[in-house]
C-alpha cells in the first residue's frame, strides 16, 4: 500500500453506473483498478444507486472513519458532483476530495488547470490536496430553511435562466449538451430575462431593483469555461460578486466576447458605462422582490425567496493532479 505524507490512505471512487455506455464504463473501472494496484493503493469502487447518492455515500464514509484514518474520495462527474462531495465531507479534517471529469462543464476544476489533466488517473492518485474555501448559504422559501455549501458559483438571473433552458432543451431528442447550451443562450438573449432583487452588502449598502444577472463566485468559471469572475481565488476568503445591470442587447453582444475570456473588467466601455459592478465580499443577503428567485448552485437550480451567503475559509481539501500541482 502506498504511503502519502507518511500515512496510509484509502482511495474511494464513486461512479454513476448510468454515465456512458456499458462497455466504456467497464473499461474505465478496469483502468482505475489497474492503476491503483500498480501504485499499491488500497481502493474501492462504489456505484451510485440514485440522485444525490454521491454526496450521501461520501458522508457515510466520513462518519465511519476511525480516529487518525485518512481518506480520499474521487467523484466521477462534473460540477454537480463537486457540490455533492463538498456537502458530504465538510467538517471532516482527514478527508480529501477529487473529481474525475465526465461530461463538458467541469468549471470548478478549470480553476486549477486543464480538465483533461484530471482524467489522468495516475496523476490524480499521486496528486496533492490544496485547501479551498466554500460559500455557505442559508435559504428561505415558504417557511422552509435550506442550508448548504457551494464550491464554485451561485448564479441568479440571465445565466441561471440559461441553465434552466438548457436542462429543458437537453430532454428533447437529437439535442446534445453543447447545442442545448447555445440554444439556451439564444433564447434568453431574445427574452433578456433577468431578476428583480434586493442585495444587502456587509457595509450596510443596498442595491434594489431589476438586474440582468448577479453571480457570487468562489471560482472563476461558469457555463463550461466562461471566465465571468476573472479575479476569483479559491482560497482568499472572499466571494467575488458580479452584477450586470439591465443593459441593451447591443451592449451585451459587444461585451460578451471579452466577458467570456475574463477581460471585460478592463474594457473602457464597461468602465465608462458603470453597468457592470465587480465587488469582493465576505457576506451578503439577497431577497427576491417578487414571490421567488431562481438560484443556480454549482449548476443545480433551486427556488428561493431570501438567501444569506457567507464565506467559510479553508473548508475542504481538493486533490490536484501531480502533473499540474506544482504549476
Kindly report, as residue ranges, where domains of CATH 2.60.200.40 are found in the chain. Answer: 136-313
Average pLDDT value for residue range 130-158: 97
Q: Whole-prediction pTM value?
A: 0.92
pLDDT value of residue 3: 37
Q: Which CATH class is domain 3-132+315-325?
A: alpha beta
Give the chain's radius of gyration (CA, Å). 20
- pLDDT, one tens digit per residue, over 177-221 is 667 777 888 888 888 889 999 999 999 999 999 999 999 999 999
Distance CA 8, CA 70 (A): 7
CATH number of the domain at 136-313, please? 2.60.200.40
Q: Is 67 exposed, middle or buried (0-12, 13-18, 19+ CB in 10 A)?
A: exposed
Kindly report, as residue ranges, where domains of CATH 3.40.50.10330 are found in the chain. Answer: 3-132+315-325
- pLDDT, one tens digit per residue, over 225-273 is 899 999 999 999 999 999 999 999 999 889 989 999 999 999 999 999 9
Contact 195, 214 (CB under 8 A): yes
- pLDDT, one tens digit per residue, over 115-138 is 999 999 999 999 999 999 999 999
pLDDT value of residue 17: 85
pLDDT value of residue 2: 35
Amino acid at each position: 500500500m502506498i504511503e502519502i505524507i507518511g500515512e496510509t490512505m484509502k482511495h474511494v471512487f464513486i461512479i454513476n453506473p448510468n454515465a456512458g455506455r456499458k462497455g466504456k464504463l467497464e473499461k474505465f473501472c478496469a483502468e482505475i483498478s489497474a492503476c491503483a494496484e500498480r501504485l499499491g493503493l488500497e481502493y474501492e469502487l462504489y456505484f451510485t444507486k440514485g440522485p444525490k447518492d454521491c454526496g450521501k455515500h461520501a458522508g457515510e464514509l466520513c462518519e465511519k472513519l476511525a480516529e487518525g484514518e485518512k481518506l480520499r474520495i474521487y467523484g466521477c462527474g462534473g460540477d454537480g458532483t463537486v457540490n455533492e462531495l463538498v456537502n458530504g465531507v465538510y467538517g471532516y479534517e482527514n478527508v480529501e476530495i477529487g473529481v474525475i471529469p465526465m461530461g463538458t462543464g467541469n468549471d470548478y476544476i478549470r480553476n486549477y488547470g486543464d480538465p483533461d489533466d484530471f482524467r489522468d488517473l495516475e496523476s490524480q492518485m499521486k496528486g496533492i490536496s490544496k485547501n479551498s474555501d466554500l460559500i455557505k448559504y442559508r435559504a428561505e422559501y415558504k417557511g422552509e430553511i435550506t442550508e448548504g455549501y457551494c464550491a464554485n458559483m451561485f448564479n441568479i438571473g440571465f445565466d441561471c435562466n440559461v441553465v434552466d433552458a438548457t436542462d429543458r432543451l437537453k430532454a428533447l431528442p437529437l439535442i446534445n449538451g453543447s447545442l442545448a447550451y447555445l440554444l439556451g443562450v439564444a433564447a434568453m438573449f431574445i427574452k433578456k430575462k433577468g431578476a428583480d432583487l434586493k442585495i444587502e452588502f456587509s457595509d450596510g449598502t443596498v442595491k434594489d431593483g431589476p438586474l440582468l444577472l448577479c453571480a457570487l463566485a468562489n471560482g472563476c468559471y461558469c457555463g463550461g469555461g466562461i471566465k465571468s469572475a476573472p479575479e476569483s481565488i479559491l482560497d482568499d476568503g472572499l466571494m467575488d460578486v458580479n452584477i450586470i445591470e439591465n443593459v441593451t442587447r447591443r451592449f451585451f453582444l459587444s461585451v460578451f466576447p471579452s466577458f467570456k475570456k475574463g477581460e471585460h473588467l478592463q474594457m473602457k466601455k464597461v468602465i465608462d458605462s458603470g453597468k457592470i459592478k465587480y465587488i469582493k465580499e465576505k457576506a451578503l443577503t439577497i431577497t427576491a422582490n417578487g414571490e421567488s428567485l431562481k438560484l443556480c448552485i454549482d449548476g443545480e437550480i433551486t427556488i428561493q425567496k431570501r438567501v444569506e451567503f457567507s464565506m467559510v475559509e479553508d473548508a475542504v481539501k481538493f486533490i490536484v493532479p501531480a502533473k499540474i500541482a506544482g504549476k
